[in-house]
Amino acid sequence: MGQLIVNGLTTGMILALPALALALSFSVLRFANYAIGSYVTLGAFVTWWANVLLGLPLWAAAGVGAASVALSAVAIDYLAYRKLRERSGLTLLVASMGVSLALENLVRLFAGNSPRAFDVAVARPHRFFGLRLHQEQLVILVTVLAALTVVWLIFRFTRLGRAMRAIADNPSLAAVRGIERGKVIAAVWGMSGALAALAGVLIGLDTSLEPQMGWNYLLPIFTAAILGGIASPMAAVAGALVLGLAEEVSTLFLPPHYRMIVAFAIMAMLLMVRPWGLFGRKWVTR
């Protein structure tokens, strides 16, 4: 049972980063970025390239990956999403699908379909109180905690964080208070992209890298964000942990390849019964 909790929390922690990224961009821009899966893939593969082909140690390569995706996300918003902000939300959805398609296949073009792994030293698993903890899981734990702490600090205590929350809360008043929407949006995409990239690295560490990886995570990412209450970024983290644990517990009576179905079932139930998530504030449905 303890092992289940450890594994569940690991899954949940990896999921927390892109779920937070999704909730962040949703809360400020009010649209669900379906390209988030492809940001995860892009981040993983750029990191792989820096790690395996350029020979950088993994932490430095991850930095390269995060920066690349951060910049790409800002660029994509500037070139594509910005022009569609005045249209209906559904148009943005389809556009983000197009972005996702293009990015994922761009990776496939350069990297092919076969799975890869990072160039890291193989380490023996540690043992804590009878539980097996892999080196990768420790890295995941530390990285995610560090990333979440940084994001939380920015969100809660800095001018930028206040500006993000202000725009999410009351965009017209934010403009009156002198907040420059364009710059804040760029910062949001930068953070979102970096978080997604980091998630990609961690997934690659935990399992392997392939161009399909981000797409496979789309459903869990959205479910985690909805669980938390999609407009509340920090609650998305809680949603991710809950989902990770739920998926892990489900392996007791379902085969492991059916984790998607668990995520789907949870999401379906949520949407029918409690669409504002576990921690969100109640709103009106039709």
Partner 1 sequence: MTIAAQSLVAEGLVAGYNGVPVLHGVSFTARAGEILTVVGPNGSGKSTLMKTVLGLIRPLAGRIRLDGHDITALSPAARVNAGLGYVPQEANVFPNMTVLENLRLGLDFIRRPGAKPFAERLQEILELFPEIRPKLAVRAGVLSGGQRQMVAMASALMADPTVLALDEPSAGLSPRNAELLFGVISRIAASGVTLFLIEQNTRLGLDASDEGLVLVSGEVRLTGKASAILADPEVRRLYLGGK
Partner 2 sequence: MGDPMTAYLIATLCVVVIITLAGLALNLQWGMGGLVNFGLFGFYMLGAYVCGLLVKAGLGPLAAMASAILVTMIVSALVSLISIRLSEDYLAIVTLGFAECIRLFISYEDWLTMGTLGVSGITRPFAGVLGSDWGDILFLLFSLAMLGIVFALISLLAASPFGRLMRATRDDPDIVASLGRSVLAIRLRCFAVGGAILGLAGSLHAFYYSYIDPTQFTAIITAYAFMAVVIGGRGSNTGVLIASVILVLLLEGSRFLVDYFPGLDGQTFASLRLIAVGIALVVLLIMKPSGFGRERPTVLAASLRNS
Within 267-286, the residues that bind partner 2 by CB under 8 A are: 267-268, 271-272, 275, 285-286
**Segment near partner 1 (CB under 8 A), from 74-82, 144-152, 178-186, 187-195?**
178-186
Within 72-131, the residues that bind partner 2 by CB under 8 A are: 80, 83-84, 87, 89-91, 93-95, 97-103, 105-106, 108-109, 112-113
Using CA atoms, how far apart are residues 54 and 108, in angstroms rounded to an integer? 19
Q: Does 182 bind partner 1 (CB under 8 A)?
A: no
Within 69-88, the residues that bind partner 1 by CB under 8 A are: none
Least distance to partner 1, CB of residue 163, Å: 7
Within 166-205, the residues that bind partner 2 by CB under 8 A are: none
CB burial of 166-204 (b: ≥16 within 10 Å; e: otherwise) equals bbbeeeeebeeeebeeeebbbbbbbbbbbbbbbbbbbbb
Least distance to partner 1, CB of residue 53, Å: 43
Q: Does 230 bind partner 1 (CB under 8 A)?
A: no
Least distance to partner 1, CB of residue 159, Å: 5
Which residue blocks in the chain are alpha helix, DSSP H? 2-29, 36-48, 58-76, 82-84, 89-111, 135-157, 159-169, 171-176, 181-206, 213-228, 233-250, 259-273
Strands 131-133 and 126-128: antiparallel
Least distance to partner 2, CB of residue 62, Å: 25
Q: Does 234 bind partner 1 (CB under 8 A)?
A: no
Neighbour count for residue 65 (Cβ, 10 Å): 29
Q: Does 32 bind partner 2 (CB under 8 A)?
A: yes
**Segment near partner 1 (CB under 8 A), from 47-55, 94-102, 165-173, 260-268?**
165-173
Using CA atoms, how far apart are residues 235 and 209, in angstroms rounded to an integer? 28
DSSP 3-state of 126:
strand
Least distance to partner 2, CB of residue 278, Å: 16
Cα 183 versus chain centre, distance: 22
Least distance to partner 1, CB of residue 177, Å: 5
Among 122, 176, 252, 273, binds partner 1 (CB under 8 A): 176
Please give the size of the binding site for partner 1, defined by CB under 8 A: 17
Residue 116 is classified by DSSP as: B
Binding mask 125-164 for partner 1 (x = CB under 8 A): ----------------------------------x--xx-
Contact 229, 278 (CB under 8 A): yes
Residues 6+ apart with CB under 8 A from 94: none
Residues 6+ apart with CB under 8 A from 259: 220, 247, 250, 251
Using CA atoms, how far apart are residues 164 and 171, in angstroms rounded to an integer? 10
Sign of the CA dihedral 146, 149, 151, 153? negative
> Which residues of the chain form contacts with partner 1 (CB under 8 A)?
159, 162-163, 165-166, 168-170, 172-180
> Which residues of the chain form contacts with partner 2 (CB under 8 A)?
31-32, 34, 80, 83-84, 87, 89-91, 93-95, 97-103, 105-106, 108-109, 112-113, 215-216, 218-219, 222-223, 226, 255, 257-258, 260-261, 263-264, 267-268, 271-272, 275, 285-286
